[in-house]
Structure 1
Amino acid sequence: MATIQSAAEIMHLLEPFMGQRISVLQVLGINSLKMMLPPLEALAGEVVTAADVVDRTLRVDTTSYVISFDLQRTGRVVLLESAEPYRFVAGANRPTARLLMADGSGLDLVEPAKTKRITVTIGTRSA
């Protein structure tokens, strides 16, 4: 059974992304994207302004949008010091979502089970 990451552990992984530009958000779990307004492409070029973790939900604020990742039971955040867009490989364990930054770093949101429970919601920031 996977060890649950604490909010402090996840926040430590997010620190390098503050002030960074998003290159792309890939949602690879077929049932994971819960809201698509705005579309994923709208996140390209957005700057990460804040992040928080409450009750296994990771919230990333950008200049214009809010991205929420509900990690549910066993979702984990994995730091990628050097990352590229995910390419499907037969038989490989894929992340549920991958967030790539303009500087080449990124995050994978992963789960040990085949049933993907991490959900991703994107919305516009309130004024």
Structure 2
Amino acid sequence: MTTSQSPAEIMTLLERLTGQKIAALQVLGINSLKTFSPPPEALVGEAVTAVGTLDRSISIDTVSHVVTFDLQRTGRVVPLENAQAYTPVAGVSRPTVRLLMADGSGVDLSEPARTKRITVSIAARSA
């Protein structure tokens, strides 16, 4: 059984995203995206200004948006050094979410079960 990551462990993995530009946000869990406006494509080219964690919830801030990920009980943050857009590969489980950065790095949000419980919400910042 996979152990849960602590908020401190998650924060350490996410801190390297600060200052990086977002290349893509792929939400691969069919029920995971909880907002539709703005769409994930609205994040492309925006720089991450801050990251945060609160228990099993992650926030990634840009100048124009706040993205919130709820890892629920078993979600994990997996750093990717050479990240590419996800494409299905037989025998390899897919992440629920893949965040790709312009420098070629990224993170997967994954969970061991078939039932995908990680959720993603994108909100535009007020002017």
- The two structures have a TM-score, normalised by structure 1, of 0.97
% identity of equivalent residues: 66
**4+ residue segments displaced more than 3 Å:** none
User: Which residue number in structure 1 is paired with residue 108 of structure 2?
Assistant: 108
Find out whether 1:4 has 2:4 as its counterpart. Answer: yes
CA distance in 1, matches of 2:94, 2:100: 15
SS in 1 for 2:121: strand
Bigger shift: 85-94 or 97-106? 85-94
Q: Name the CA distance, whole Å, in 1 between partners of 2:23 and 2:63.
A: 14
How far did 1:42 drift? 0.7
Structure 2 match to 1:80: 80
Paired position in structure 2 for 1:36: 36
Aligned positions, number: 127
Q: Give RMSD over aligned pairs.
A: 0.9
Structure 2: 5+ residue runs without aligned partners?
none
Can you give the 5+ residue segments of structure 1 that lack an aligned partner in the other structure? none
1:105, CA displacement in angstroms?
Answer: 0.1
1-side partners of 2:40 and 2:107: how far apart?
A: 16
Per the TM alignment, residue 59 of structure 1 is displaced from its structure 2 partner at its CA by 0.4
Structure 2 residue aligned with 1:23: 23
The code of the aligned residue for 1:51 comes to: V
Distance 1:15 1:70 in 2: 17
Under a length normalisation based on structure 2, what TM-score does the superposition of the two structures give?
Answer: 0.97
Q: Give 1:55 shift.
A: 2.1
Where 1:34 maps in the other structure, the secondary structure is coil
